[in-house]
Amino acid sequence: MDQALVKSRRRIPGWLVPSLGYTLSALSLVWVFHSFNLRQTLADLKSLDWRYVSIAVVIELSVYLSHAWRWNMLLRPMARLPYWRSVQAIYIGLYANTILPLRTGEVIRCYLVAHWNGIPISLAATSAVIERILDGALMLIALLITASRVPLPGYLFHGTEFLGIGLCFLIGLLIFIAVHKQEAHAVFSETTWMSGVRHIVEEIHSMGNWRTMAPTVGASVVYLLLQIVPVWMLMKSFELDLSVWAAAVVFIIQRLGTVVPNAPGNVGLQQYFSVVGLKLFYVPHDTAFQFAGIMFGILTLPLLIGGFVALALTGLKLGDIRTRAHTSLQSPVEVTSD
């Protein structure tokens, strides 16, 4: 049976998933920009209220300061990480995600934090998985709350409920592992790939105490709210008469829509789902297209600059860090900081 599973996995070409992601991104770009009007876009840029744009950029940059704060809080039972090192790792990861496919930046940021602080990369990677589960759960909760304030299509509401069931299962599993260590070991016994899962169980349990998780959840709420504000500020800069609840819906749809692996920087899919979200609030077709494109540029460029500076401070090339990160993840060993 195990051999059959291995063979079936080998039949799936390694290029298939990236190719599907790139195809989705390309189709989305064609759809978004098939009627792109450069002259109108430049006119829209001139007419923007740049006070709100400035606030959006500053808050977007501060989002990842809160991300580093939360990450340090989550890892605190295992290590006291220097705050600015965590910030640097996150910005380098964002830079990598923007120019490299398949969210390689997630692996890179985990590798850098592990390397700089002498902790196992498996611990850093497990903490990143916990972050993503918390983010997903809070986004779905936020969408359900928002649905009580603004009218949303039934398919979106029911889809949120379906995803919520899956996330509740994952969160329940995390709580079980954190509270019942021995029982978790019994479930994930030493058989084939389960040995790897058991190692992850150990990592989760090392972080899974209430004194750590409760403030981490609070920090996750702050992290989510900070991500919604830039979208709302850009709506104001466009003079769109939409509330912060509408901004939350657009942001969450955008994030959920870009969960699948796709092109670097989520280019294509991010614009597509931004337009989808805006059209729920009857934003005119052309305005939604212009908003999606301008939002992507305004919020991505500062992250590219910040990530480039963070990378330059290491004195290393991104390709070298990427190679080391993937090698370390395949053969996780404890490393010492330089």
Query: DSSP per residue over 272-320, as a string?
Result: HHHHHHHHTTT--HHHHHHHHHHHHHHHHHHHHHHHHHHHHHHT--HHH
CB environment 112-127: b (16+ within 10 A), e (fewer): bbbbbbebbbbbbbbb
How far is Cα 336 from Cα 238, in angstroms, rounded to an integer? 49
Residue 118: enclosing H or E segment and its boundaries?
none
pLDDT digits (tens, 9 = 90+) for 13-39: 666 666 676 677 777 767 766 666 667
**Looking at this protein, which amino acid is placed at residue 35?**
S
How far is Cα 142 from Cα 136, in angstroms, rounded to an integer? 10
With CA atoms as reference, report the closest residue to 212 among 90, 82, 73: 73
The pTM of the full predicted model, rounded to 2 decimals, is 0.82
By the 8 A CB rule, do 177 and 204 touch? yes
Place of tokens 């589960």: 133
- Which region holds residue 331: left if phi is over 0, alpha if psi is between -120 and 50, else beta? beta
Burial of 95 (0-12, 13-18, 19+ CB in 10 A): buried
Q: Which residues contact 94 (CB under 8 A, 6 or more apart)?
A: 64, 105, 303, 306, 307
By the 8 A CB rule, do 72 and 91 touch? no
pLDDT digits (tens, 9 = 90+) for 174-209: 666 666 655 555 555 554 444 445 555 566 656 656
Encoded tokens for 58: 């500053």
Q: Rounded to whole angstroms, what are the CA distances from 37 to 202, 240, 248, 287?
A: 54, 20, 27, 11
How far is Cα 75 from Cα 100, in angstroms, rounded to an integer? 27
By the 8 A CB rule, do 138 and 220 touch? yes
Residue 1 confidence (pLDDT) = 41
With CA atoms as reference, report the closest residue to 230 among 50, 113, 55, 11: 55
Residue 127: enclosing H or E segment and its boundaries?
helix 121-147
Count the neighbouring beta carbons within 10 Å of the beta carbon of residue 336: 8
Query: End-to-end distance of the chain based on CA atoms, in angstroms?
Result: 45
Q: What are the φ and ψ backbone dihedral angles of 267, each rounded to 5 degrees?
A: -60, 135
By the 8 A CB rule, do 247 and 274 touch? no
- Extract the residue ranges of the chain whose pLDDT is less than 50: 1-10, 191-196, 333-338
